[in-house]
Structure 1
Amino acid sequence: LHLTDTPLASIADHAFYGINDTLQELHLVRTEMTQFPTEALKILGLLKVLNIDGHKIELLAKGSFAGAQFEGSLEKLHLVNGPLTELAADIFGSLKKVKTLDLHGNQLGTLKKGQFKGMREVEILDLSYNNLTKLDATHVSDLTKMTWCNVSNNALTEITRGTFARNTVLRVVNMAANAIRKIDANTFRGMRFLRRLYLSDNMISDVGRGTFGSVTRIGTIDLARNRIKKVDFQMFFQLNYVELIDLAENEITEIQKDAFKDLYLTHINISHNRLETIEPKSFINCANMTVLDLSHNLIRAIPRTAFDETTYATEWIVTHNLLTNMTQLPLSNMTGLKILNVSYNNLVEIPKNTFPKLYELHTIDVSHNNISHIYNAVFQNLLSLRNLNLSHNALEKIGPSTFGTLPTLLELDLSYNRLRDITRGALAKTTGLRFLHMQHNKLEKVFQIPISLNELNLSHNEIAEIPEKTWPTMNSLLGLDLSHNRLGNNLARGSFAGLLTLQRLHLVSNGISTVPKDSFSDLGTMQYLYLAHNNISELPKGAFGRLPILFELQLTDNGLETVADRAFDGLLQLLTLNMSRNVLRSVPNGAFFGLVSLRRLDLSHNLLTTIDNKTHGLLDDCLSLDELNLSHNRFSFVTRKTFPSDPYIPYRLRSVDLSYNTMSIVTGDLKVGTGTLENEVFRMPANFTTLHLQHNKLNNASYDALLRLSNLTLLDLRSNELTRFEPELVKRMKVSNLTVALGANPLQCDCYMRPLFHHLRLLPSIGVVYRELECAGPGSLAGERLYNVSDELLACVPAVEDDAFRPLPDLRFREIAYFRGQLVVNWYVAASSDVADFYVYIRDRANRIIVERTVAYSSRSLAIDGTDIVPQGDPQLELCVLAKSSDGAINFLDTQCVPLPA
């Protein structure tokens, strides 16, 4: 049973009668309860889970669980997120079977001696997010089976000696975010099964020698964000099972001798400290450290003897330090090293003998340094090198032997350097290279590239020409990026000769004014051509030559003025053509001749006024056109030939964008050629969840299409000119979690607002979205908040007979019938307003009272003896049941009167 977000203040003693022999889980989430419902819960004999989350209980008094029938069945008790400040002594003593006790998120300041006495089955104890200042053995010694203890985010200042001495099977302790200042060898004595220890975000400055000696099975030691100043002698010694040692964000300045000893497969994090000194033999017999993170420190050099011959890391991170030379890293014994990251240092060179033979090293990152010189063949000893990142440095030249023989190298990044010259053959022996990044340098010519290359990025350089025979004959290069260079009109026949399989060519921002048709003649395999941001002002006939499998052509932002007939002749497979952001005023009808495969055409942001000559259209040759964008032009009308149409040709135009033009009228010609557009152009996808239409000038809305969106959860119509909250929206709100925001609209608070008003009255609380609804009319209600208006004032003249627009009755009839000479009446309360008692009477059409009774609120029925019902002349009688408020006022409504049965 889940009771969530209800203003529940108390539970009557017998509320759970009827389900007391079956209920196993009870969840009371975000209620207003100020006292623990002892009497109501004690009869729940099979209860296994009791969850009270978000409450107002300040004291859990003695005997709260005494005599409860669930003493032998309750397994999980959650009393969380409330103002609970005090627990009575021995309060949980009767709960012998509880395995999980959760008291997090309260205001507990102290625990009493023997607080958890008798709870020998508890395995999980959560006291996090309280105000506890002390935790010792007198509090938790009775929890002998506890395996998981969370006291994080409290105000503990110390871990007293022997706190967990009797909790011998404890495996996880979380004491993060407290004010603990020190830990020593006595802190964890007796906790031989401890696996996870979380002490981050404390004030620990002193970690005694041998602190972790008694927890030899420890797997995680988290000491991040403390005040530790050094890693002391044998601080982490013979911890054979440790997986993670986190010392990040402390104040560590040195690592002493033998600090890390006899560790295996450990992730060590000492990042974000002030580490300057690493003493010799700091890491002894630490085989295969999965990650050694020394980043964000002040390291200038690491002594060669800091790691002994058996110590190595799989991944070594030394970023954001002060290293100036790669020889300051002792790599001689790092035999199992796979990833080395030395980025963001002050390296100026990679000298000779930097790398010994490291057979497993596959990734090196030395980016964001100031490297200007690399010694010849320095990487040649790395027989498994796959990725080398030298970007963001100061390299000016790559010599013939800089990289030497690197047959395994797959990716080389030399971007963001100052390279002017790459000697011919400098990369000849990188025979396996697939990706080469050379962007943002100062190269003036194309160098000899490896024959195995797949992707070459030469953008943002100073290349002015590509002479013939620049490229070797190769069938591997798929992508070439020459954007943002100085090629101009210097591309000639043979500029791309030899590139037998090139698919993507980027020539963006090169100052090209004439399409280099001849240079493309060698690129019969090209599929994507990008010529945006150049100076191409004219496209002559057959401007691109024959490119039989070109799929996409980008000509955006070129200043294009003229397009000749058959300008795209030879592009039989072109699917996408983008000519947006140019200065086209007209395009001849035959310009797109031959583009029978074209599906997407973008002519937006031009100066076009028409694309037909009234007898033929520009798009008649585009037999496969799917999407057309003509927005941001100067179209003032649409003619019959604007869009392609022919009774014998199955055009399939699906999407047309004509926004931001100067059309003042739409004629019937718009239908010609657009018969294949999708039905209901403005139909929204079925998975729509949120629609924002606020701050417009909507004064009328049809919600049929919106209400078909089954996933819609928010419709925001604030700040428009709507006067009604439509009833169909209220119907949808009742059966789903739809929220409709209509604030800041000139709402008319008449009877048509009643469906919403009645729905809000039945809610346990009114959300902010509906509290801001304000009446603009009639005048008597102007400025009033809707939820403050009384039902009677929401009136229409003349009155509307539909029950949905009539005042909501306080109660409704269940049954009215004669039984054994008595008139039996049953009803139920339908409103959440103030109802104290019930006033029942029988009247005739002259409003003469025949019978009257007052019924207590606790009753919902009444039996009237038939002999008391004696008409005074008029035989037609009515029965009325009215609600009386706590101050005696009676609210009369016609709907609460019904004719008496015959």
Structure 2
Amino acid sequence: MFLQGLSADPSPTKMVTKIIFTLATLLSYTNAEYIPPGPVYPCPKDSTTTLLYPCVCEKGSDTGLYIKCENTGLAVLSVGLGNIAGLGLPIERLLLKECKISNLFGPLFHRSTIRVMEIVDTPIKTIDQYAFAGVNRTLQELYMTNTKIEEFPKDAFMILGNLSVLSIDGHKMTKLSKDIFAGSEAAGKLERLHLSNGLLTEFPPETFQVLKKLKKLDLHGNKLVTLKRAQFKGLRDTEVLDLSYNSLTKLDGSHIGDLSKLGWCNASHNQLGEIPRGMFARNTVIKVVHLDNNKLKKLDTNSFRGMRFLRRLYLQDNQISDIGRGTFSAVTRIGTVDLARNKITKVDFQMFQAVKYAEVINLAENNITIIEKQAFTDLYQAVVNISHNALSTIESGAFQNCHNMTLLDVSHNQLSVISPGAFDENSYAYTLQMAHNHFTDFSQIPIQNMSGIQVLNASYNKIESVQKQAFPKLYELHTVDLSHNNISQIFNAVFQNLFSLRVGAEAGVPQAVRTAHGGPLAQQHQPDLQRRVPEPVLFEKQAFPKLYELHTVDLSHNNISQIFNAVFQNLFSLRVGAEAGVPQAVRTAHGGPLAQQHQPDLQRRVPEPVLFEKQAFPKLYELHTVDLSHNNISQIFNAVFQNLFSLSYQQVLNASYNKIESVQKQAFPKLYELHTVDLSHNNISQIFNAVFQNLFSLRVGAEAGVPQAVRTAHGGPLAQQHQPDLQRRVPEPVLFEKQAFPKLYELHTVDLSHNNISQIFNAVFQNLFSLRVGAEAGVPQAVRTAHGGPLAQQHQPDLQRRVPEPVLFEKQAFPKLYELHTVDLSHNNISQIFNAVFQNLFSLSYQQVLNASYNKIESVQKQAFPKLYELHTVDLSHNNISQIFNAVFQNLFSLSYQQVLNASYNKIESVQKQAFPKLYELHTVDLSHNNISQIFNAVFQNLFSLSYQQVLNASYNKIESVQKQAFPKLYELHTVDLSHNNISQIFNAVFQNLFSLSYQQVLNASYNKIESVQKQAFPKLYELHTVDLSHNNISQIFNAVFQNLFSLSYQQVLNASYNKIESVQKQAFPKLYELHTVDLSHNNISQIFNAVFQNLFSLRFLNLSHNSLEAIKPATFGTIPTILELDLSHNLLKDVSRGSLAKLVSARLIDLRFNQLQKLFQIPISLGELNVAYNNLTEIKANTWPTMNALLRLNLSSNMLADSLTSDSFSSLLTLQALDLSNNGLTKPPWEALSTLSSLQYLYVQVNT
């Protein structure tokens, strides 16, 4: 019946089909995701975290909580840990850091469950016998770092039956007794013991005898000088021993013989003078020995006898000068031998004969002069470092059967020739370092048998030539560095056998290529950061054979004068930083050799003009960068680059810093991927029409954005003189022709700055459909002068753009450019912007900027800015504008992301009412540094959203008054800067419409001439948090003047410093719930009415320094529970009444320097620092300080205490860490007074007698 209810057809087959379909449909909507569960013991929720005080829970885990307690005392700590235990939560790790505990005692851990405990930077001197009661069954690891323990706390550790790790790092123990672990429950569990960085000088052999399971013993950083016989008796299972950084003078088998399982021993940084016979003979399984930084002088065959498993031996930084023959024959399994920085003079016969498993042999920085025959034999994949020696001779057969050495480094030596038989037919290195030697001929380096060599570095030698057979068939060699030599000749096909030459290849480093003229280069090698050769050289066609993998050719800093056609035709994979991108010149079609003088420069210089020949670059399918900068190229022939099919990843052609005078129409063929053309710093006077028409992808930093000039329609060539400059300079005026830029769909950047352009024809840019970033109009120095007067001839040097005569915009200068977003016309002499000149710039849409700063604009007419929907930044600063006409900006509908109007540094005298129309998004108006004397009513009323960092800056003007309606309803304006004006009065309610002065809301009226602030000056400003009235002439703050500042809420500051205020009246500060900083310093205040600050519920910083206060009475401050810092320095205080400051229960710092106090006052119990320097104190009486106090720093310097201090002067200052008694007339150290300061760390008593 049920099945029939589902379907009228009772067929089982159809029913099953329907059920399967239904399930498949439901499963398609199921989205299962595994969410891992949290830890078993998470940190308590916020509601219970106060129970942990003074501790914090860093994280939870499956085994317990990670608790940190910092800068607290024993009593408070006990409460916090007790509450954690009360919640039933185990502690995985407890960190006690910088706590104020000198004696660890009491029931601190009695209820806790702790596995790991760390006590760091806590001055513990003693530990009570039962201090660890309660955690004795759970504590497994105990770390004590930087304590003051003077005696090993054996009683406290005796009950720790589960302890496996004990570390006391940084202590004051000088000796250990023999029974420190006698009867201890920890003796049967302890595996790692660290007693490091202390003062231990000795300990009996029985000290660690009972630690049968100890695996590691660390005694480094102590004062041990001698060890006793059987010093480590009973430690048969110990595997690691660290005795480094002591003063041991002797270590032999009698000391460490009982350590039968010792595998790692560190005795470095001691005073050991020798390795005695059989030193480690009984430590038969030792693998690693550190004996570096000692005073060892020699090694012999007995030094390492019995150490057949030794793998690492570190002997660097000793005084070893003698190594006996066969010294290492007993350690045949050795992997590392480090003998660097010793006094070895030679590598002796068979010194490293039997070390066939060696991985590293380091002999660097010795005095080695010779490597004798068979010094290195049977090495495999080893690194051999003999650099930084005085090596001059490598004898024949020095390296025998040394297969596949990973690195052989003999750099920084005095090698001038190596014997041809130094390396036998089986010996070679993957990397051979021969740099910084004295080779003069490349054939002096024997690489004939090095079939597996991959990298050869012979730079910084004196090599003069590379002969034809210099490189045999080396199939793996891919990098050859011959830079910084004196090479004058490289024979044809010299590299033809280097089948894998590809990265940083030799051709990319030598100083020159064979001269076809046969003239050798000058002998003198000039020092330079790069490669220099003083005579002109040429490329011969066969210089580079078929090298299929070579991709980088660097021939920079040479004097190449000619590159023959197709010289690079066999470099099939040339692609990165290709040669054409680096050599100094290309073959001169005029035949004139380059001048002989080579000018020093970090770049490439050749003094005579040169030309490109058409076939200089053959079909190079992968070449993407051609750098021909810093040459004297004078002409680029048509189609010279036609075979560079893929200039396809970072496709760049750089011909800057040459003497190119013209770019012909067919100079650039169809290069589909070329996107950057740099022709800057040339002498271009003419660019033919459509010269760039085949560069289909020209888009970034395009040529038009870099050359110095564009074809002059008047036909006048540019001046011959090329002026040096950081930018591009051409001394004569030039013009744009209409067809200079063809249809370039991807070109987005045109830079024509630093030229003398005097005219831009209409629609010159009309075919640049994608011009959008840093567009040309944003950089050229001038735009066509409607007056027809050419610009002056003189070109002024400047890092920016300068043209000496005023110029104008013509209406059609900018055609319909849909993507142009940045127009930079700064640093010109524009005097007028015609109406609607920018009307076709439809989308100035991402970082849309119009910059016309640093010109000579005198006025901006009403229609200067048409409907530009996306323009957000208009910069008219640094001009001569004297007036902003009404509604001049009315069409800038969206000044919408960082919308800025900058009219600073002009000569504006007034801003009319309708100057700013309805600009819904404008948020920053900068009118600073003008001559404005008055802000008219409602002048800003249409700026509806001054909404993200909304700023009105009218500083540095001549404003004398701000009228009531100057600021209309501006809902988002948050910063008003009226500083540095001549304002003498703030009218009532002048700011009443600034509803949200909401994130860093600032009103700055400093540096004016304000004499009074009336009661209603600040209306209901709910979000204003900073009021700066400093540096005025205010003499009085009227009652309730600040009553409407309801939320002075994020860094809420009131600054009335540097005025002439004489008193602070009772109602000066109403209930301001968020005001936390009040600065009334540098006034003439002599009276503060009682409880004047009591309504400042969040006051934390109060500055009353540099006033004329004479006394502080009990009711002056009353109870201000929130104040943290009080500055009363530089007043005339003679008396602070008892209890007048005691109620500042949260105070951390009170500064009373430079007053006239004769006695101290009652301090708040929470005070951390008190500064009463430069007063007239003569004594400190008993009971001056409260019994409970937290004072850490006390400055009593420059008073008159003399020798009046007694044992009661500081008796209650148990936490004091720093005390300054300098310049007090003391005649003797006040030891009696200081005896009670148990926590004192810093004492200053200078300038006493």
Q: Within 5 A, what are the aligned runs for 1:324-339? A: 324-339=440-455
**1:727·1:755 contact (CA, 8 Å) conserved in 2?**
no
Residue aligned with 1:213, SS: helix
Aligned to 1:446: 612
TM superposition shift of 1:271: 0.9
Q: CA–CA distance in 1 between the matches of 2:162 and 2:841?
A: 78
User: Percent identity at matched positions?
Assistant: 38
Residue aligned with 1:464, SS: strand
Q: CA–CA distance in 1 between the matches of 2:343 and 2:257?
A: 30
Q: CA–CA distance in 2 between the matches of 1:197 and 1:753?
A: 71
Q: Within 5 A, what are the aligned runs for 1:84-103? A: 84-103=200-219
Asked if residue 495 in structure 1 is aligned to residue 667 in structure 2, the reply is yes
Aligned to 1:485: 657
Aligned to 2:845: 624
TM-score (structure 1 length as normaliser): 0.74
Asked if residue 207 in structure 1 is aligned to residue 332 in structure 2, the reply is no
Aligned to 2:419: 303
TM superposition shift of 1:32: 3.0
Larger deviation, residues 11-20 vs 214-223: 11-20
Per-residue CA distance 1:110-154 (angstroms, 9 max, x = gap) = 323222222222222222222222221122222222222222222
Q: CA–CA distance in 2 between the matches of 1:607 and 1:374?
A: 53
Letter in 2 for 1:403: F
Aligned to 1:130: 246
Asked if residue 531 in structure 1 is aligned to residue 706 in structure 2, the reply is yes
Describe the shift of the 1:442–1:197 C-alpha distance in structure 2 as closer, same or farther (beyond 3 A).
same
Aligned to 2:540: 399
Q: CA–CA distance in 1 between the matches of 2:415 and 2:747?
A: 54
Q: Within 5 A, what are the aligned runs for 1:546-695? A: 546-558=743-755, 566-577=763-774, 579=778, 581-583=800-802, 588=809, 591-598=813-820, 606-607=827-828, 620-626=841-847, 628=849, 630=851, 633=854, 646=869, 654-655=897-898, 662=905, 674=922, 679-680=948-949
TM superposition shift of 1:267: 0.9
Per-residue CA distance 1:472-513 (angstroms, 9 max, x = gap) = 333212434434433443111111225343122222322335
Residue aligned with 1:185, SS: coil
Aligned to 1:461: 631
Residue aligned with 2:635, SS: coil
Larger deviation, residues 49-58 vs 246-255: 49-58
Describe the shift of the 1:228–1:492 C-alpha distance in structure 2 as closer, same or farther (beyond 3 A).
same
Q: Within 5 A, what are the aligned runs for 1:881-892? A: none
Aligned to 1:60: 176
**1:572·1:595 contact (CA, 8 Å) conserved in 2?**
yes
Q: Within 5 A, what are the aligned runs for 1:167-186? A: 167-186=283-302
Letter in 1 for 2:742: G
TM superposition shift of 1:595: 3.9
Residue aligned with 2:541, SS: coil
Asked if residue 316 in structure 1 is aligned to residue 432 in structure 2, the reply is yes
Describe the shift of the 1:366–1:745 C-alpha distance in structure 2 as closer, same or farther (beyond 3 A).
farther
Whichever of the two has the greater Rg, that structure is: 2
Larger deviation, residues 504-513 vs 262-271: 504-513
Correspondent of 1:544 among 731, 734, 741: 741
Residue aligned with 1:149, SS: strand
Aligned to 2:402: 286
Letter in 2 for 1:446: F
Letter in 2 for 1:233: F
Asked if residue 148 in structure 1 is aligned to residue 369 in structure 2, the reply is no
TM superposition shift of 1:808: 4.7
Letter in 2 for 1:679: Y
Residue aligned with 1:71, SS: helix
**1:240·1:264 contact (CA, 8 Å) conserved in 2?**
yes
Aligned to 1:768: none
In the alignment of these two chains, the number of paired residues is 764
TM superposition shift of 1:17: 1.8
**2:819·2:842 contact (CA, 8 Å) conserved in 1?**
no
Q: CA–CA distance in 2 between the matches of 1:747 and 1:123?
A: 68
Larger deviation, residues 125-134 vs 348-357: 125-134
TM superposition shift of 1:31: 2.5
Letter in 1 for 2:542: S
Per-residue CA distance 1:747-772 (angstroms, 9 max, x = gap) = 9999799989979xxxxxxxxxxxxx
**1:101·1:125 contact (CA, 8 Å) conserved in 2?**
yes
Asked if residue 357 in structure 1 is aligned to residue 447 in structure 2, the reply is no
Describe the shift of the 1:652–1:670 C-alpha distance in structure 2 as closer, same or farther (beyond 3 A).
closer
Q: CA–CA distance in 2 between the matches of 1:364 and 1:234?
A: 32
Describe the shift of the 1:397–1:210 C-alpha distance in structure 2 as closer, same or farther (beyond 3 A).
same
TM superposition shift of 1:403: 1.9
Letter in 2 for 1:449: F
Residue aligned with 2:560, SS: coil
Larger deviation, residues 32-41 vs 215-224: 32-41
Per-residue CA distance 1:876-902 (angstroms, 9 max, x = gap) = xxxxxxxxx9999xxxxxxxxxxxxxx
TM superposition shift of 1:471: 2.4
Describe the shift of the 1:251–1:450 C-alpha distance in structure 2 as closer, same or farther (beyond 3 A).
farther
Aligned to 2:938: none
**1:562·1:587 contact (CA, 8 Å) conserved in 2?**
no
Letter in 1 for 2:644: M
Aligned to 2:561: 420
TM superposition shift of 1:211: 1.4
TM superposition shift of 1:440: 5.7
Q: CA–CA distance in 1 between the matches of 2:362 and 2:832?
A: 68
**1:474·1:498 contact (CA, 8 Å) conserved in 2?**
no
Per-residue CA distance 1:326-382 (angstroms, 9 max, x = gap) = 111111110111111111111111012111111111111111111110011011011
**2:212·2:235 contact (CA, 8 Å) conserved in 1?**
yes
Q: CA–CA distance in 1 between the matches of 2:774 and 2:181?
A: 76
Correspondent of 2:693 among 513, 521, 535: 521
TM superposition shift of 1:746: 6.3
Residue aligned with 1:138, SS: helix
TM superposition shift of 1:302: 1.1
Q: Within 5 A, what are the aligned runs for 1:177-256? A: 177-256=293-372
1 or 2 for the larger relative contact order (CA 8 Å, sep ≥6)? 1
Asked if residue 511 in structure 1 is aligned to residue 683 in structure 2, the reply is yes
Letter in 1 for 2:897: R
**1:52·1:80 contact (CA, 8 Å) conserved in 2?**
yes
Per-residue CA distance 1:165-210 (angstroms, 9 max, x = gap) = 1222222112222221111221111111111111111111112111
TM superposition shift of 1:426: 1.7
Q: CA–CA distance in 1 between the matches of 2:1075 and 2:439?
A: 71
Describe the shift of the 1:112–1:437 C-alpha distance in structure 2 as closer, same or farther (beyond 3 A).
farther
Q: CA–CA distance in 2 between the matches of 1:75 and 1:336?
A: 49
